[in-house]
Amino acid sequence: TFLHGDLEEEIYMLQPEGFEEKEKKNLVCRLNKSLYGLKQASRCWYKRFDSFIMSLRYNRLNADPCAYFKRCGESDYTILLL
């Protein structure tokens, strides 16, 4: 779930084992998207999820940023807990 989140800062990592180029072992990789295990991965994923769910016209509860609701009529509503 944490793959492919958008990064707000530049992050570099060592070349993954087995993917190093022989002549260029000292080079690093610049990440375009977040990776599982990255400190920022969960935050990137949450921001992307929040943006998507808000585009579906859900509202975030003030008391809990992981709880969303959407009114579907006079007395009907949907509650989404993350």
Instruction: Return d(Cα 7, Cα 66) in angstroms, integer.
Output: 21
Domain region containing 58 = 2-81
Task: Note the pLDDT of residue 4.
Answer: 62
Write the pLDDT tens digit of every residue in 68-80: 999 988 889 899 9
**Hunting for tokens 């072992």 — which residue is that?**
25
CA distances from 14 to 4, 32, 41, 52 (A): 18, 14, 17, 32
Task: Note the pLDDT of residue 58.
Answer: 95
How many domains would you assign to the chain? Answer: 1
Is the pTM value of this prediction over 0.85? no
Instruction: Return d(Cα 39, Cα 31) in angstroms, integer.
Output: 13
9/55: higher pLDDT: 55
Write the pLDDT tens digit of every residue in 34-63: 666 667 777 777 888 899 999 999 999 999
